[in-house]
Amino acid sequence: MPTKMRLQRKGKKGRPFYHIVIADGRAPRDGKFIERIGTYNPITKPAEIELKFERALDWLQKGAQPTDTVRSILSYKGVLFKNHLLKGVTKGALTEEQAEAKFQAWLSDKESRALAKISETEEAARTAKKKRFDDEVKVNEARAKALAAKRAKEIEDQVKKTKEEIADETAETAVEVAEAVAETEVVEAVAEVVAEEVEAAAEVVEAAEAKTEKPGEEPVPEKTEEVKEEAKEEPKAEIQEETKEEKTEEPETTVKEEAKEEAKEKTEEPEAIVKEEAKEEAKAEAKEKTEEPEAIVKEESKEDAKEKAVEETKEEVKEEPKAEVKEAVKKEKAKKEDKKEDKKAK
C-alpha cells in the first residue's frame, strides 16, 4: 500500500487534538508512523493549523496520498496550489519567478480573507454578547417592576387592615362608652325613683300622723320612726334606744298608741305592701350593681394578700440562713475569746 498523509487522534474525550503524520497505509490509525509534519486543533475558532510546508510538499511530490481532511488542510495552506504551479514549471508552461509571484499573490489574498472572516466572527460574538446583556437587563427590569408592584400591593393591604382594625377598635370603644353611659343613666334613674318613693312614703306617713293626732295629745314617735326605718334604713342603735324609751312610758299611753297603730295599720296595709315591694326590688337591683365591684375588689385584695404572704415567706426563708450564719460567727468569736482568756490565766 502507498504511504498516506493522515490524522492521528490525541486529546481527551470530547476535546480532540490531531497530529498530521506520514504513515504506512497498513498501520493502524494511532499506531506507528514515519514522520509528523504538523498539528490540527478543531476546537478553537478558527481552527489552529501548524504545518511544515516544505516537508508536506516533498511527501506530496513523492506520491503520498492524503486523506480527505488532510487534503482540505493542505488546500487551505496552499500546498496543493504550489504543487500545481511546480508541475507547470516542469512542463515549461511557467517560469519559477512567475510561479512564485502567483503563489505569493494567492497567499496574500488568502490571508486577507482569513483576517476578514476572523473579524466577522469576533464582531458576531460581540453583538451576540451585547444582545444577551440587553435581554438580561430587560428581564431584570421586568422582575423589579413586578416585585415593586407586589410590594406596593402588600403595603396597601396592610394599610387597609390597620385602618379596619382601628375602625373596629373605635367602634368597640364607642359601644363600651355608650353602654357605660346607659348604665350610669339607669343607676341615676333608679336612685331618683328610690328617692322619690322614699319622699312619697315620708309624706304619706306624715299625712297619716296628722290625721290620727288629736288636740291635747303628744305626737306618737313610735310609728313615724318605724316607717322612716323602712324608707331610709336607719341604724339599729337608734331602734334599740327607741324601744327602751317606749318601755319607760306609762301604760296608759301604750294602750292608746296600740289602738292608734291598729287603726293606722288597717288603713295603710295595702299602700305599705305596694311601697315595700317596690323598695325591695330597687334595693335588690342596687345591691346587685354595687356587689359586683365589691366582689372584684375583694378578689383583688385576696390576691394581693396572697402575694404579700408569699413574699414574706421568701424573705423569712432568706433571712433564716443569715441569722444562723451570724449566730455561728458569734459562737466562734466567743470560743476564741475564751481560749485567749484561758491562755492569759495560765
Query: Over the stretch 11-58, which tens digit does the pLDDT of each residue have?
Result: 999 999 999 999 988 888 888 899 999 999 999 888 899 999 999 999
Among 76-80, 120-124, 340-344, the least confident range: 340-344
How high does pLDDT run on average in the chain?
Answer: 77
Residue 38 has a pLDDT of: 94
Q: Name the residue with higher pLDDT: 222 or 113.
A: 113
Whether 142 shows a pLDDT value over 80: the answer reads yes
Cell numbers 373596629 label which residue? 168
Q: What whole-number distance in Å separates Cα of residue 73 and Cα of residue 80?
A: 10
Residue 180 has a pLDDT of: 85
Question: Tens of pLDDT along 271-294?
Answer: 555 557 666 776 776 666 555 555
The CB density around residue 288, as the number of other CB atoms within 10 Å, is 9
The size of the chain, in residues, is 346
**Confidence at 228, pLDDT banded by 50, 70, 90:** very low
Nearest in space to 40 (alpha carbons), one of 13, 77, 3: 77
Residue 103 has a pLDDT of: 92
Q: Name the residue with higher pLDDT: 149 or 220.
A: 149
**CA angle 29-30-31, nearest 5°?**
95
In sequence order, the 6+-apart residues with CB closer than 8 A to the CB of 23 are: 3, 4, 6, 8, 31, 32, 33, 34
Mean pLDDT of 101-114: 90
pTM of this prediction exceeds 0.85: no
Mean pLDDT of 152-176: 89
Q: How far is CA 105 from CA 49, 57, 100, 112, 113, in A?
A: 21, 19, 9, 11, 12
